[in-house]
Structure formats: structure tokens, C-alpha cells
Structure 1
């Protein structure tokens, strides 16, 4: 398992880089110059309008022309964490307010229905920082979030909401690694709301009861990024084993994986985004702050950002 061990070390560094911190000054709404450096990307999204969004430690930016031009989104200098775009286009995030914001810290759950221009509080403001958020592709009312360490009255664990984030209950997490910082990715399967997959530093775990209890599914595989492929029950992952690593697809709910390509060596994908209407179009952000896109379902990839520097 030599390669897997090397990889997990890279992931640990990535997790440290994405640790909580406050944002920089709010960016002006103008085209960003080539070479602009975006630090600590914490999420990527793809909208039906063909826009790619990057949520970061310093706010959010977007490109509508595959990286030729980039502009800031909205007037928020949030430290975006747990960024997630639902199947209906609603944006969700957690994290921390920036220095120009008077919002409580942490942000709890925030929601945007206008592509990140404005954000409204949904729940848990001042109480919770979800580093991982996900929702079911077929049922956007169903949300899951990971609280990795105790926050006031909220203990660490897997939390669930059935009303789009208004109310949350802990569902447990029995059987997962004790330190939930070791969870890299979480996915609610589109064809079964009760089944979840978690990629962790101890392998791939599976829950059949909505996150209450978990069992190891593959202890020899690390999955750092998970996504449902739009309009299907197929799953996308960045997966690594002793013998191979890369972007992979599963057609059997994560039981087996077939490699598509893009073995990043010592780097790895941290976040995926799949176009909601054209599933062959994908975006991926790596732990080394690289942004790559694919227009053919993951076979070939083009780099739009390298180590945080835009290449427009």
C-alpha cells in the first residue's frame, strides 16, 4: 500500500491548508487579471448556465467562458467552507464571515438562490461550521453535513436535514473513524436516500440507514472526492489504491470503480462539479489548488488554474 500511504500524506497537507480562517478584503467586481492568485479553494460548482464557480478562503469567483475571463461573485468576503450546489441550482455554504462582515462567526448554513450574489441565513448561525455539505441529487430537501469537532451544544458527527436545512438532527456516525477530520468526501446516493458513502483516511465506508451506522466497504481505497453524475445513478470519484489512482466511475453504487483517467500522482482531486444538464462536462479542484475541466466525461482534462494562479 505504498502509494496509498503517500497519497494520504498529501491529503493531510491539503486538509491543513483548508483549515478555518478569516477572509481578505472584499474584491471589486471587475475582470481578474491573468496570474491572479486564489488561495485555499474550498469548493467548485457548475451551473446550467455554463458558469464555473470557485469558492475559497477569500470569497467566490466565476468564469462563463471556460477560464478566458474571471470575475468576483457578489460582495461577500466569506471564508467559504462546505460549499455545495444542489441539483436545483441552490447554493449552500458554511464557514466564516470576512473582515468586512458583521455576521456572527461561524456562519452556520447559508443559502443563495441567485448564483452567489446574495446569501441568506438558513440555520445554526453562530453555532456550526460544516466543512462538508451534500444533498441528495433527486431530493434537494435532504441534506447531510459533517461537524468534525464539537461546537457548543453540537457534538461532532453526521447531521441530517429533511427540510432544506431549516432543522438538523445528528444521525450518529457509529462505525466511522473517531476523528471526523479524516472524512474527505460524503455522498448521498441518488437512487437510495438511505445509502451514503464516505471516503476517509481509513478507506471507504458505507451506511445503509441514513448515516446512523457505518461499515467499511473498501479499506484499500482512498476516495477524496465524490459526486453523482447528473441525470443518472452513476458515481464519479477521485480514487487511489496501491496499484492505481485517478478519476473513476461506478455504475454499481460504489461497489466497483472503473478508471477514466487523470492520475495526479502525489496530488489528488479535492472537489468535483458536474454540469447539471451536460454530464460530460466536469470540473475538478485539487489539493494543490489546480482547476481542471473535462468536456468528454473525464477522459481528457485541461488545466485552467495552476497552484491558485489563473491562466486566462
Structure 2
């Protein structure tokens, strides 16, 4: 089954019958759906919700701030993190019965710079990531505020924002040291846990990236030509899809249904080893790559922001 995070909540559908999707959680916009083991979490503007039955029923975890933009379970499963708007970070060690603010994030030198006028002149914790090879390290991306790293489970933080655009939408944690940051002003990679960054999109004519994804040894990245205020023209975001077989050193432009009007915002895979990839678009389309070709599985008529495959997949 596929869980689809949209502007109107979470929908659930068989992979081959997207048009028959049923809404299983009614919320404001869903920013992120993530599955850790057999448990699924939905970070939404109405709170953070958990499902232990593949998305059929949900429990509100009552994070202290209503708008939750990101969620992460620590590699050892002992801690659950929630990143919010405004940009605060919370942790629970008892399954959400109680939450504690990780105040160290507020002590970073750049904290007063984290704001964007069209986001109520505030920022949010847009991305959270970790890797089993560095279990106490937490990586966060702030929109707008850059990338920051904690080496002690989120208690204290170090800025890793030099050399990367401040408008961070997503940080893909590929290993303990390698991350790819999708930003409003480019695509960046670090191989030393953010101490230095290399820009990857120098040869591309699209600069507004939302998220990257890796499956079957290929890196997928979608981008608009520029930021949302320019999306009112005939081509909308004028988006493009890029794929790389060398970790982002080079990219090829790939055609997909309804591009460039449709902007891919969400990714997941049925099998990450063989590259059976699904994508969700701003206009509500679910796409699937089969034998290197992208096809349309269905449409929900509401914007898609996140996808996740449950453990019970037909």
C-alpha cells in the first residue's frame, strides 16, 4: 500500500489503483510521511501523527507546537525527534507521552537570521536525518537557516552552513559523512559531514530543488527553474527531472508525464535496490518508473508533498 501526504491529509491506496485512494487522516498540509520499521509518522501543519497499522488509524502525538515539518527516529529506536515551525526541535523517549525541547538548537550563532517574509518572517526545521554509522549524530536542514549538525543526540549543535544555500528544503543523508542538500538556490553535496560543500547543479538551468532520492544506484532530483513567486506563467514552475548514475557528479535530463508543468515534490520506492521508484507531483499525480520510463499511475487532484510505502505492499 502507498501512503500519500497531500494538502488535505494522508491518503492510502493500492499501488495499482491510485484513483481509488481513501483519505485515512484529515489534517492541514502534510509535510512529511516517514516509516521507521512497521510504524509510520505523518508530520503535518496540524501536528505529528503515528500509525502502527499501515496507515489505517492514527494517533496524535501532541508535540508542543502545532506545525510539525519533520520527524526522525534515532538509529537505535530510542528517541523520536520532531522539527517544527517556528524552528524548534523536540524529542521524546517514551513514544510521545512527553516531549522535551532541545534548546541547543536555539543557541546557534545564526539563529536570529532564520526567517523568510513569506513564512510569517519565521523559519522551520524542514529536514531531519541520521545514519546508523554515526548513531548520535543528527543532521537538520532549516528553511531558511542552513544545515546544522549535532554529535550528541541533538543536545548541542555546530553550524555547517558555510558553502551551502541557506534555504534548505531537504538533506539526504547518504552515509555518516555524505549529505546532499536540496535548496532554493541550488543542489549541494558534502563528504565531510558539512564542513565543506560542493555545488552540483552548475551545469543545470534549474536552481530551485525540493528533494533528492536514491534507489537502484541512481540519484533522482527534481527542480523548478526558479522560486514559487515566478510560477504563475503558462508553464507553472517550469520543472525538470534529473538523474545521475555517479552520485551527482553529472546529471541527465529525463522526460516524465506532464513535465514541465508538473513539479515532482515527493519520492519513495517499492524496492530501493532495483530502482522501482514512485514520485508525487504538485498537481496530485503519482508517477512510476518502469524499465527506465516514467508513467502515470493516477491522480488525487490535490498537491502531493510526501510518499511512503507501508510494509504490507501488494
Q: Same fold (TM over 0.5)?
A: yes
- Shift of residue 80, structure 1, vs aligned partner: 0.5
Paired residue for 2:249?
255
Show the 5 A alignment for 1:36-51: 37-49=26-38, 51=39
Q: Does 1:159 align with 2:145?
A: no
Q: 2:140 aligns with which of 131, 142, 145?
A: 145
Paired residue for 1:225?
211
Paired residue for 1:170?
159
Q: Does 1:207 align with 2:190?
A: yes
- Shift of residue 238, structure 1, vs aligned partner: 3.3
Paired residue for 1:184?
169
- Shift of residue 186, structure 1, vs aligned partner: 2.2
Query: Is the contact made by 2:239 and 2:260 (CA closer than 8 Å) also made in structure 1?
Result: no
Q: Does 1:56 align with 2:44?
A: yes
Paired residue for 1:73?
60
Show the 5 A alignment for 1:243-282: 245-246=240-241, 250-257=244-251, 259=254, 265-272=260-267
Alignment partners' CA distance in 2, 1:306 and 1:266: 15
CA deviation string 1:247-303 (max 9, x = no partner): x65442222456595666434344445689988687766556x58586989966756
Alignment partners' CA distance in 2, 1:42 and 1:122: 21
What RMSD over aligned residues (CA atoms) do the two structures have, in Å?
4.5
- SS across alignment from 1:82: strand
Query: Is the contact made by 1:281 and 1:294 (CA closer than 8 Å) also made in structure 2?
Result: yes
Q: Would you say how many aligned residue pairs link Structure 1 and Structure 2?
A: 251
- Shift of residue 214, structure 1, vs aligned partner: 3.0
Paired residue for 2:10?
none
Q: Does 1:238 align with 2:232?
A: no
Alignment partners' CA distance in 2, 1:276 and 1:109: 31
Query: Is the contact made by 2:271 and 2:277 (CA closer than 8 Å) also made in structure 1?
Result: no
Call closer, same or farther: CA 1:66–1:250 in 2, change over 3 Å.
farther
Alignment partners' CA distance in 2, 1:202 and 1:238: 13
- Shift of residue 225, structure 1, vs aligned partner: 0.7
Call closer, same or farther: CA 1:302–1:165 in 2, change over 3 Å.
farther
Could you list the runs of 5+ residues in structure 1 that have no partner in the other structure? 1-16, 18-32, 97-105, 150-155
Alignment partners' CA distance in 2, 1:74 and 1:253: 37
- Shift of residue 224, structure 1, vs aligned partner: 1.6
Q: Does 1:307 align with 2:294?
A: no
